[in-house]
A and B are shown apart, each in its own frame.
Chain A
Amino acid sequence: MSGTFNTVIQLIYVAAASCFVLGLHLMNNPATARRGNQVSVAGMIAAIAATGALVIHGGLIDATGWIVIAAGVLVGGGLGLYTARTVKMTAMPQLVSIFNAVGGGAAALVAIRDFMTIGSGIGASTSVPTLLDVIIGSVTFSGSIIAAGKLQGVITSAPVSFPGARIVNMLLAVIAVGFGAYVIASPNMIGLGVVIAAALIFGVSMVMPIGGADMPVVISLLNAFTGTAVAMAGFVINNTALIIAGALVGASGGILTKLMADAMNRSIGNIMIGGFGQGDAIVAAAGVAGAGVQSIAADDAAIQLAYASKVIIVPGYGLAAAQAQHEVAALADLLESRGVDVSYAIHPVAGRMPGHMNVLLAEANVPYPLLKEMDEINPEFGRTDVALVIGANDVTNPAARRAGTAISGMPILDVDAAKSIIVIKRSMGHGYAGIDNELYTNPKTSMFFADAKKGLAQLTASVKTLVG
């Protein structure tokens, strides 16, 4: 292999990696984010083209190899294009999960194939990343498929567990790592097969006991896994572009995992042990309107909203579950056209994946400057006439400020500082933490018992009748 050629390829890889970093950097502002994506695409095309050139230059590839590549790109690319074009924004978490699965799966296959080619002659400097790639990639593959199934509702979103599940999980992890060490010591295919099987089953049993509400953390974590698996694949085939790109994704997934876990006031370990989170159908049996709770009719709520000068909308998981983003946008538009100052307070874990609520509202044509992050909006509640809480529970519970509750220390939206609070909720059922929300018994709070979608439509209709 000529030195100059190799140098050129390496330089292209560095340029591609720079594009990835720059692309991610441009994502720090909605105004430049689209350009960021384009820069990233350019880097990707360059890196793939360079790899193609590298393969041609190597001269090892045969005609069937080319057919395999072409067929794979056509089939996979076509499927990717189709799903990306048709997917509903509410289904984004599933899609991201599927892409995690195939990315992790591809990374594992690269290592498996490389291991088969080299055979017993493999050195430790390759076998260690190979085994790491196979284990992480396989866990990501099966785990992400289960996560996508749970999000899609194909698999129950409630935690699925059985007595001794944790012991089985630990056993699987020990088998995967133990056999991994054995394969590194004496490379053989059977050992690798055991590692792959154990890792695949572990991926399933790791995600099954995790409840639907914990999905933002799980997806982020699997995203980090995929990145790491791809970086390991880079070590295996000695490709700098894969190492850098994988590390970037690993870092991104890691940060998001940490942010999500913090926003839920739980440790990552606690979530992964699982069995605590609940499914989507959190219709608790608790009676409607308990002691000290005042309910409100649509017309009265509409009067408050129509004559307010500042309204903050607090959308939560319930809004996403009811898919009421278009209804909320319609109400907000109507209020804005009356000169009401409307903004949205978005808690980090609103929705089913990091930032999901923002995408849903953007799809409903809500301008992004109205979407406010928690730290930005919290000081504004004090001068807000009406805070309209829709399907958000624990993230508004003032009990988080006190010590000794299940959500103590969890960052919350200071909804109770608003002059008046309207909560749209189906029942007095508990949120994810399973405790009473003190906001609901606040004298300033009125409860509007309705499904988010229907309730918002009613409110919009009432405001329209009210103001003609």
Chain B
Amino acid sequence: MEAIFTTQALTKRYSGASGAALDGLTLTVNPGRIVGLLGPNGSGKTTLIKLAAGLLTPTSGSVCIAGQAPGPATKAVVSYLPDRMALPSSLRVEDAVSLYADFYTDFDKTKANAMLQDLKLQSRQRISAMSKGMQEKLQLCLVMSRAAKLYLLDEPLGGVDPAARAYILDTILRNYNEDAALLLSTHLIADVERLLDEAVILRQGQLVTHQQADALREESGESLDAYFREVFKC
């Protein structure tokens, strides 16, 4: 099986920063896997996802998605959820849907509209008039309405309440294309633990471990959440 996402000795240094945000990371993600990208603040999770999305240029090393370096071809098969609101606030919900439908051939408008209806989001509603949580749900609906090969979700549970988290996780599971890989970064490990096939743990830009979630639980004799708390105890 050809890997959908690989990095080779990937390093990223930000100008003015003392250390590397990512330091020689080599990683392989195969299709059909849900991979949790775990680590404390500043461990390089967002940097890795942004490099994969083509929003950052690596200092050295390489990123490969479906056999290609990040560019228009990989962006057509990657569905990316940023850790912030990227949709212009002047847009209405219907404008955001039509923007995705215009640019992504794998976007399913019917699916998106059904999800938006579930969330009681009116198509004429302006993004600027929505709460932060609703904005995040809208972005997630759009991202999960694509039949992408690789989903990159950066802190999808970041700013939402616990009740909404359950909806978001269900949305991810229900709409995730099973032939695709899903790379999900979060601090809320307990919430996502049941979803994960694999866990990638980073510390200060370096790989601590990349294992099957079950194997890691078996090896450590505790849940991923408990294992994470132990490894990164302050």
Q: Do A and B come from one complex?
A: no
A interface list, Cβ under 8 A from B: none
